[in-house]
Structure formats: C-alpha cells, structure tokens
Structure 1
Amino acid sequence: MSARPHIILRDADREDAAALIDLWTECAGASVDEGSEAFTQQSLWRQPGIAEASAALDLSFTRPDKRIIVALVEGEIVGATVCDIGTLTPINLTRVLVVTEIQVSPRFRRKSVASTLLSAAASYGEDNNCEIVVAAIPVHSREPHRYLTKIGFNQIAVLRAIQSSKLRSRLTTKATNSRDTGKLIAVRRTLRRRQGDVRGARPRP
C-alpha cells in the first residue's frame, strides 16, 4: 500500500488557469470508457483556452460567496473543488453550501485528496453558518457516490442537462405542434357543428 502524499490546500488564483485546464481534461479523459452516462457527461466538456479559463476564474472571484479550493502534491495541482453558498429556496434564509466539481487526478485517486478537499469545504460551510451541505457529482461516478453515501449524504435531487439551443428548438417545435393540433381540432368541431345545423335545418318530407 503506497503512502499517502502530503496534500496542501489553498484558494485558486488566476495563474492556476493552465493547471486547472490540465486537471479537468485529465479527469474528462478518464471517463471515456465508463459507459453511456459517462459519455453524456463528457460531451458537456469543452476544453477552453488559457485566456477563457482565466476570464472564467476572474468571474468566479467576483462572487463573494464562491470559493475554488485546489489541492497540491509537491507543487502540482492534483485536485480541486468549487464551493457556493446560497439559500435552500428563494423564499427562506436557510444557508446551504453547494459543493461541485470535485475533481481529482486519476493518478492521485484513493489517496485522500477528495476527502481532504471535502473537509475544507465543510469547514468553509461551518464558518458561514451553512446548515446543509449539498454535493453535486456526475451520475456515472460510482465510487464518489458510494463514498458520499457512506459518510451520510442522501440523494435529494436529480440534475439533468441539455444544450440551450436544443432545448429552445424542442420547446418551439412542441409549442408549434400543440397550436396546430389545437387549430385542427377547432376546425373539425366547427365543421361538425355546421353539418349538424344543416341537417337540422333540412325540411322534413
């Protein structure tokens, strides 16, 4: 059994853009052979350039309740997670910590990187009076699901995704078809009513 590496945690910064691209790309590539669900998840991944990643990080840093934590081993970023603080619903003040993007390099899995990141996230939630911690992870990631279940997480929701252009197209098609169907039914009812009126107006022999 290999010794666990010394893990250092810190907040991400703009200069981490290239390293984070490498980490996300490595994790996405590791899911290629994990079945159709993994393929669906991977298809949502698009590798950005450094300029785009830097701009995205800058945007994240402008949000006071969002934090990106990275894990380093011997100076290399081998894991990362994103923490968001919000409320349970838009109409109450129950604070919730949402943990997403629990990314760990395949070369460093089963070496306590994920648990170390999650522990830091939990501490961040406690510091901000969060009553609930929600973890969002890909549906195909069986090992993380087992781990989170083991430490007490329960399933409370299902996340589904679709490209916005495809969603708009399908909703437009559905709405159009519904209108056409409704118009056709109305025309048929009008014709039947007129035919009934004509039959009722015919003089009896």
Structure 2
Amino acid sequence: MSARTPIVLRDADRDDAAALIALWSECAAASLDEGSEAFTQQALWREPGVAEASAALDINLGQPNKRMVVAVADDEIVGATVFSLNTLTPISLTRVLIVTEIQVSPRFRRRSVASMLLSAAAHHGEDNNCEIVVASIPAHSREPHRYLAKIGFNQIAIVRAIQASKLTSRLTGKATNSRDTGKLIAVRRTLRRRQADALGAGTRR
C-alpha cells in the first residue's frame, strides 16, 4: 500500500489565484446536491477570472490583521482558510479571531485537512492574545457545521445577505413610503453607473 501524500501548510500568495479559483469552484460544485439552502448560497457564488482573483488577493493579503493559509499536497492546493483579528465589539478590547473560510477539496476530505487549517488559525489567535475564536460558515455546509459543533463551537449569530441594489431599493421605498419611488431611484443609479462605465471605456480606447 502506497503512503498517503503528505499535506503541508503555508501562507497564500498572489500567484495562487488560479489554484484557489479551482478549489472554490470544486467545493461549490460539491454542495449543489445539499438542498434549497445550498441553492440559495450558490446564488452568491460567481467564479472570478484569474485577474480578478489576483486583485482580490492583493487587497485581502495586504490587510495587516488578515491571513490566508493553504494546504498543499503534491504542489496542489487542496484546502484553504482565512482568518482575521478583531475586537469582540467596537467598544471593547476583547480580541477575537474570526475564521471566514474553511475550504477543503472533496477529494481530500477525511484527511484532517480542516483540522490542520483550523489549528493554524488557533495558534495565530493564541499568538495575538485572542480570547475567542469565531467561525463564519455557509448555512448549507453541513459537514463543517458538524465538525465545528463536535469540537466545541456554539452558535452565537445568524448571518444574512442581500444584494446591495435590492437593499437600497427596499429601504428607499420604506423611507419615502413609496415602493415605486424606491425602484425609480435604484434604476437611475444603475443608469448613472452604466454611463460612467461607458465613458471610462471610451477614455481608455
């Protein structure tokens, strides 16, 4: 019997963009059969191009309080996690570590990859005097939720999402007591953005 491929951890960098797109896409595809909650979550997933992913990595990895660690097997990225330092509330100094991603290739599950990634996050939290670790996981991701509950995580919050344009439209409608007025303002803003994009494209030619 051949030995399992060893898995090593390292910090992510900009050159990992294509590999990370492949990992996120593989994980998203694997969750398609997990019910209506998964379908709702999929609506938020859009596969980026390499240039966009590289630019996003530049932004995220450039934040001093944020780290991204990847798990690598045979030069392939098979897992990743993102964690950042913050305070528990804006008016307290209780430090917390917030884990916002735990992605593991379906082909490498049951290999303790998630445990390795979370352990790296926990050690980073300890090194920075964090008292609490918070994990934000998509609602449909049943296995990660089971795993986190098994090792002692408790549910403390519910995260909800909405498209920014839809939120603006609905809140404007409530503020003016007119749904039609809110929709009209949202349409005007969309048209202004498109005109600005068109002018920008013309300038670059």
What TM-score, normalized to structure 2?
A: 0.83
Residue ranges of structure 1 left out of the alignment (5+ in a row): 180-205
- In the alignment, is residue 14 of structure 1 matched against residue 14 of structure 2? yes
**What is the CA distance between 1:178 and its match in structure 2?**
6.8
What do the CA deviations read for 1:84-115 (whole angstroms, capped 9, x no partner)?
10000000111100001100111111111111
- In the alignment, is residue 163 of structure 1 matched against residue 163 of structure 2? yes
**Which amino acid is 1:127 matched to?**
D
In structure 2, distance between residues paired with 1:174 and 1:31: 36
In structure 2, distance between residues paired with 1:43 and 1:28: 11
**Which amino acid is 1:54 matched to?**
S
Question: Is contact 1:4-1:112 (8 Å) kept?
Answer: no
- In the alignment, is residue 33 of structure 1 matched against residue 26 of structure 2? no
SS at match of 1:177: coil
**Which amino acid is 1:48 matched to?**
P
Judged with a 3 Å threshold, the aligned counterparts in structure 2 of structure 1 residues 4 and 122 are, in CA distance, closer, same or farther, namely farther
Q: Which residue of 1 aligns with 2:58?
A: 58
Q: Report which of the two structures shows the higher radius of gyration computed on alpha carbons.
A: 1
In structure 2, distance between residues paired with 1:42 and 1:88: 29
**Which amino acid is 1:168 matched to?**
T
Question: Is contact 1:5-1:111 (8 Å) kept?
Answer: no
**What is the CA distance between 1:175 and its match in structure 2?**
2.5
Residue ranges of structure 2 left out of the alignment (5+ in a row): 180-205
**Equivalent residues, number:** 179
What do the CA deviations read for 1:56-81 (whole angstroms, capped 9, x no partner)?
11111221110000000111000000
Bigger mean CA deviation after superposition, 6-15 or 138-147: 138-147
What do the CA deviations read for 1:20-59 (whole angstroms, capped 9, x no partner)?
0000111111111111110111110111111110011111
Q: Which residue of 2 aligns with 1:79?
A: 79
